[in-house]
Chain A
Amino acid sequence: MRGRSAGAIADYRIGGRDPRYVARPASVEAVQGLLREISAAGDAVIVQGGRTSIVTGNPAARYDVALDMTALDAVIAHEPDDFTVTVQAGMRFDVLQASLAKHGQFLPLDPARASATTIGGVIARGRGGLRRGAFGGVRDWLIGSTAVLSDGRAVHGGGRVVKNVSGYDLPKLFAGSWGTLGCIVEASFKLRPLPAYDATLRIPAPDFATAVRIGSEVAQGIAGLQAVIALDAATATAAGLEGEAVLLIRSAGMAPVVAETMAATRAVARASTATDSISDPALWERLADLTAPDAESVLVRLGLPPPAVGLMSEAASEAMPEASRMAVLDGGLLFLRANRVEATAVQALRATATEQGGALTVESGLPPGLDAWGEAGGLPIMRRVKAEFDPTGTMSPGRFVAGLEG
């Protein structure tokens, strides 16, 4: 198994470091065997899927083995009438979504680079996307999971039913654990029916601040929207749109309901009826991709209470004046992308975000000496959780909050 079908070692480089070897297991048992071996040898492993967030996190304390999960890519069970699906963790997100769409269903998460990222990666990040104001995050859709711990035990939590209080909610522990507690091998999700009609209203604005202000009013005033997004000129251009700033408002459901919602939105936004309403799924994929970290630029992500986005956006234009900006007004997100950033600017922004009840992560281009995640509440418990689940410090040591090592 070792190395077979895996690419060159250099394809698994992280932060300028190559692993000693690559393993691409094709079964849960193989994952168990590998992790048992790796932890017994005192080696450290970084689990990888589509590597779309591989640049995110603190520098690894150690990195010996790349565990490539992409061979575990099967749908285990899709029960369309029960609105549940169980899949292996290495399955690509867009492949799953396409197979669900054949049954008129979808998993309402919008990961960046859906054509590369895997289910395991989506769970490890634990995040919702541009529609998170309407649909929440991974924790709201994940109903069961199996993960292999560094000692080789496969542990399962939750189940395949949509409502469940049987034992501890291990799926929530693994969602958002960034590969530091175990290797997610299988997951069950509940699903949603695809809406009959899905529309996007595009409202031009003279500048980003205006787009944010109008978007906040819309987000606060109109119920049932799926996303309210403001883009500055640079981000709009990157998304294939034009204008100094653009507000995008997404509504989905039955056609007459969407039409009425859009009319109400136009009124709140004081936008002319000439503003166009389009149905453009590709646009939303491009927008999601603009939230992806990459090795070439700095990406700062702020998760915020929605009413605080306006204020943070102003703070950001002072702290990172060069950065291009995208804001999710109903879901409370602000993305800033720049060529470089000073650690002090990030620290100042983080302090303001924390004051507002939010959190700042540096998704890529982490300035030296800075923590990618920020201060975690309950850290003493987190340390003990890490020590219980990964006492050998095998799983991505050093990469997560406070450099948790195990």
Chain B
Amino acid sequence: MSAPAVVRELEAALGADAVIWAPEDLLVYEYDATIDRGSPQAIAFPSSAEDVVAILGVARAHGLPVTPRGGGTGLSGGALAARGGVIIAMNRMRRILELDPGARTALVEPGVVNLDLGNEAARHGLAYAPDPSSQRACTIGGNIAENAGGPHTLALGTTTNHVLAVEFVDPTGEVHWLGGPTRDAPGYDLVGCVVGSEGTLGIVTKALVRLVPAPEAVKTFLGIYDSVRQASSAVGAIVKAGIVPAALEMIDRMTIAAVEPVLKAGFPLDADAILLVEVDGPALQVEAEGEIVEDVLRQYDPREIRTATEPKDREVLWAGRKGAISALGHIKPNYYLLDGVVPRTRLPEVLDTVYRVAAAYELPVANMFHAGDGNLHPCLLFDEREPGVTERVLEAGEEIMRACVDAGGAISGEHGIGLEKRSYLPWIFSEDDLGAMQQLRSAFGADDDFNPCKIFPGGHGCGEGHGGHQQKQIAKFGADVAI
């Protein structure tokens, strides 16, 4: 088969080894970690901003849509070529260009894997704070697109708090430097607009990120409780005590049932909640805060409390939380992972609704969530071979998202709206709100062919259907790709 013209032109611009177009090679780029999929015509791998400009030019000349992509671990369909066209895969731009320990910044290319940056920072006694569970596979560019969080962003904030400046190709092919080494760059906070825009305003080709001093000490607590309410009350009391822990995480009974056979950690199968609390900072502070945390945990009548300070021991405590997603496969082969966020105090009642909705649709549900910031991740478990079950899952998911909104929350805490949840956006924003957002998109120069069908409802040729396979991502990247 001879290459189509668009491929020949891309190859001429980037080199033959920087373009993929054979149908069997394209398969892996048809999905991310959601249950949607899209079929691109070609994948182009730029090595520089200039390459990105060239790709945009070729795609535009052929009237083809473009979609940027990082590690492909996204959980809202953001990296899918919803209307086909060219995927701009940033994976080959993976150099850490500079790391300045004095200024505590790093200049990186967008394809750098999150954990690789973290490891490099650690050699200088520093850390890159956002730590999504997919950090072994997800990229800084993807993190910027989704404003990625992670278990440890409770105290330090999400990606938007850690990106200072970006080299950025706008959809018209202009290259800009936005922001600066400090937060004092004159003019509008365009970096603040780009982070979390899900790759719909342009393509980041370099990023200057903040690093933070690695904590002197870390202590992790695991509390096992008879009820989610008890555990939630403990969370409230910790926060009320004036402590801002590094992490505050919870898993529920179904998740415990899934992880215990794998971990054999001795978690009681009839307990409703396991709470993880981590404090970090100067050793004395960790000791003092740790005492308060342990006192509070004991006040709410736990079955058991475990603690750890050494990295190896702390990992054991975290295993149930971080390995939760992969373990779900022991209950049902498929799952649909939701990402809702509510005011923290509303978590228990929203969780009750989650259980009620799941029961009404006859679906098992496992919950794991960032309890400190009200970000919940219900996983609806199913077997896609069962006729009609996918529709039931999607309907239940929609009802759960609606409950989050009714509780004063939002429809994504860290996974983004993407392709998956755009029809829900009008639940939280008026026509005028969405109109202003679309105007911002126009101001950046994005048209219908730049990363189409993401975030906003409607759109030419976008459709609203679901269908695809989250599990392949799990198989490829491992278990904790998904939270």
Chain A residues positioned under 8 Å from B433 (CB to CB): 155-157, 167, 170
In angstroms, Cα B374 to Cα A137, docked, is 23
A271 to chain B, nearest CB (A): 19
Quick check: is A274 within 8 A (CB to CB) of the other chain? no
Do A139 and B186 have beta carbons less than 8 Å apart? no
CB within 8 Å of B: which A151-205 residues: 153-157, 159-170, 172-173, 175-177, 181, 192-196
Do A161 and B410 have beta carbons less than 8 Å apart? yes
Chain A residues positioned under 8 Å from B146 (CB to CB): 165
Do A136 and B161 have beta carbons less than 8 Å apart? yes
Q: Given known contacts A161-B409, A307-B102, A381-B170, is B373 in contact with A401 (CB within 8 Å)?
A: no
Do B189 and A173 have beta carbons less than 8 Å apart? yes
For A194, A379, A381, which residue has the most chain B Cβ atoms within 10 angstroms? A381
Q: Given known contacts A165-B146, A166-B428, is B288 in contact with A385 (CB within 8 Å)?
A: no
Do A175 and B177 have beta carbons less than 8 Å apart? no
CB within 8 Å of B: which A237-259 residues: 253-254, 256-257
Q: Given known contacts A163-B375, A388-B443, is B413 in contact with A168 (CB within 8 Å)?
A: no
Do B180 and A359 have beta carbons less than 8 Å apart? yes
Selected interface stretch from B84-92, B277-285, B380-388, B475-483: B277-285
B84 to chain A, nearest CB (A): 25
Do B182 and A381 have beta carbons less than 8 Å apart? no
Chain B residues positioned under 8 Å from A159 (CB to CB): 408-410, 428
B337 to chain A, nearest CB (A): 15
Complex partner residue of B437 from A157, A162, A376, A381, CB under 8 angstroms: A157
In angstroms, Cα B445 to Cα A349, docked, is 35
Quick check: is A26 within 8 A (CB to CB) of the other chain? no
Interface string of B165-196 (1 = CB under 8 A from A): 10010100010111111111111111011011
Quick check: is A303 within 8 A (CB to CB) of the other chain? yes
Question: In which size bucket is the chain A interface?
Answer: 35 or more
Quick check: is B206 within 8 A (CB to CB) of the other chain? no
Do B181 and A172 have beta carbons less than 8 Å apart? no
In angstroms, Cα B439 to Cα A257, docked, is 49
In angstroms, Cα B102 to Cα A358, docked, is 15
In angstroms, Cα B435 to Cα A79, docked, is 30
Q: Given known contacts A160-B343, A305-B103, A376-B186, is B196 in contact with A169 (CB within 8 Å)?
A: yes
Q: Given known contacts A81-B236, A164-B410, A193-B244, is B192 in contact with A175 (CB within 8 Å)?
A: yes
Quick check: is B262 within 8 A (CB to CB) of the other chain? no
Complex partner residue of B149 from A136, A163, A194, A402, CB under 8 angstroms: A163
Interface string of B403-443 (1 = CB under 8 A from A): 00000111111111100000001001110111111011111
Chain A residues positioned under 8 Å from B213 (CB to CB): 223
Do B344 and A82 have beta carbons less than 8 Å apart? yes
CB within 8 Å of A: which B90-107 residues: 102-103, 105
Interface string of A18-47 (1 = CB under 8 A from B): 000000000000000000000000000000
CB within 8 Å of A: which B184-222 residues: 184-190, 192-193, 195-198, 213, 216
Complex partner residue of A257 from B190, B197, B282, CB under 8 angstroms: B282
Do B188 and A177 have beta carbons less than 8 Å apart? yes
B158 to chain A, nearest CB (A): 6
In angstroms, Cα B432 to Cα A220, docked, is 46
Do B183 and A175 have beta carbons less than 8 Å apart? no
Chain A residues positioned under 8 Å from B322 (CB to CB): none
Chain A residues positioned under 8 Å from B342 (CB to CB): 161
Q: Given known contacts A154-B432, A156-B430, is B285 in contact with A254 (CB within 8 Å)?
A: yes
Complex partner residue of B188 from A82, A164, A173, CB under 8 angstroms: A173
Do B440 and A385 have beta carbons less than 8 Å apart? yes
B435 to chain A, nearest CB (A): 7
Do B445 and A306 have beta carbons less than 8 Å apart? no
Quick check: is B253 within 8 A (CB to CB) of the other chain? no
Do A82 and B178 have beta carbons less than 8 Å apart? no
Chain B residues positioned under 8 Å from A154 (CB to CB): 432
Chain A residues positioned under 8 Å from B228 (CB to CB): none
Complex partner residue of A375 from B186, B239, B284, B439, CB under 8 angstroms: B186
Question: In which size bucket is the chain B interface?
Answer: 35 or more
Q: Which residue of A lies closest to B76 (CB)?
A: A165
Quick check: is A394 within 8 A (CB to CB) of the other chain? no
For B153, B165, B187, B437, which residue has the most chain A Cβ atoms within 10 angstroms? B187
For A164, A307, A359, A361, which residue has the most chain B Cβ atoms within 10 angstroms? A164
Q: Given known contacts A307-B103, A382-B190, is B195 in contact with A169 (CB within 8 Å)?
A: yes
Do B193 and A173 have beta carbons less than 8 Å apart? yes
Do B440 and A377 have beta carbons less than 8 Å apart? no
Do B181 and A155 have beta carbons less than 8 Å apart? no
Q: Given known contacts A173-B193, A256-B288, is B103 in contact with A128 (CB within 8 Å)?
A: no
In angstroms, Cα B180 to Cα A375, docked, is 12
Chain A residues positioned under 8 Å from B161 (CB to CB): 136, 140
Q: Given known contacts A79-B343, A194-B242, is B285 in contact with A168 (CB within 8 Å)?
A: no
Chain B residues positioned under 8 Å from A155 (CB to CB): 432-433, 435-436
CB within 8 Å of A: which B328-377 residues: 341-345, 370, 373-375
Chain B residues positioned under 8 Å from A139 (CB to CB): 160, 183, 189, 192
For B239, B242, B415, which residue has the most chain A Cβ atoms within 10 angstroms? B242
Do B182 and A305 have beta carbons less than 8 Å apart? yes
Complex partner residue of A388 from B242, B288, B440, CB under 8 angstroms: B440
Chain A residues positioned under 8 Å from B165 (CB to CB): 377
Do B190 and A166 have beta carbons less than 8 Å apart? no
Do A164 and B282 have beta carbons less than 8 Å apart? no
Do B180 and A382 have beta carbons less than 8 Å apart? no
B76 to chain A, nearest CB (A): 9
Quick check: is B444 within 8 A (CB to CB) of the other chain? yes
A192 to chain B, nearest CB (A): 7
For A175, A378, A400, which residue has the most chain B Cβ atoms within 10 angstroms? A378
Complex partner residue of A377 from B147, B177, B183, B196, CB under 8 angstroms: B177
Quick check: is B289 within 8 A (CB to CB) of the other chain? yes
Do B188 and A385 have beta carbons less than 8 Å apart? yes
Do B180 and A260 have beta carbons less than 8 Å apart? no
In angstroms, Cα B281 to Cα A386, docked, is 43
B286 to chain A, nearest CB (A): 9
Complex partner residue of A303 from B182, B189, B439, CB under 8 angstroms: B182
A153 to chain B, nearest CB (A): 5
Quick check: is B240 within 8 A (CB to CB) of the other chain? yes
Q: Given known contacts A172-B160, A381-B444, A385-B443, is B374 in contact with A163 (CB within 8 Å)?
A: yes
In angstroms, Cα B297 to Cα A245, docked, is 48
Quick check: is B268 within 8 A (CB to CB) of the other chain? no
Quick check: is B379 within 8 A (CB to CB) of the other chain? no
In angstroms, Cα B440 to Cα A172, docked, is 12
Chain A residues positioned under 8 Å from B57 (CB to CB): none
For A160, A172, A220, which residue has the most chain B Cβ atoms within 10 angstroms? A172
Complex partner residue of A79 from B153, B289, B345, B436, CB under 8 angstroms: B345
Do B147 and A165 have beta carbons less than 8 Å apart? yes
Do B429 and A167 have beta carbons less than 8 Å apart? yes
B92 to chain A, nearest CB (A): 26
A-B residue pairs in contact (CB < 8 Å), sample of 12 = A132-B183, A161-B343, A163-B149, A164-B341, A167-B437, A170-B437, A173-B189, A192-B244, A257-B282, A257-B285, A361-B186, A376-B186
Shortest beta-carbon contacts, A-B, top 6: A303-B184, A172-B192, A357-B181, A376-B187, A193-B242, A155-B436
A163-B373, A385-B188 known; 9 other A-B pairs, CB under 8 Å?
A: A155-B435, A160-B343, A166-B428, A173-B192, A177-B189, A193-B239, A305-B182, A373-B186, A384-B444
Which B residues are within 8 Å of any A CB, using their own CB?
102-103, 105, 146-147, 149, 153, 157-158, 160-161, 165, 168, 170, 174, 176-190, 192-193, 195-198, 213, 216, 236, 239-240, 242-244, 281-282, 284-285, 288-289, 341-345, 370, 373-375, 408-417, 425, 428-430, 432-437, 439-445, 455
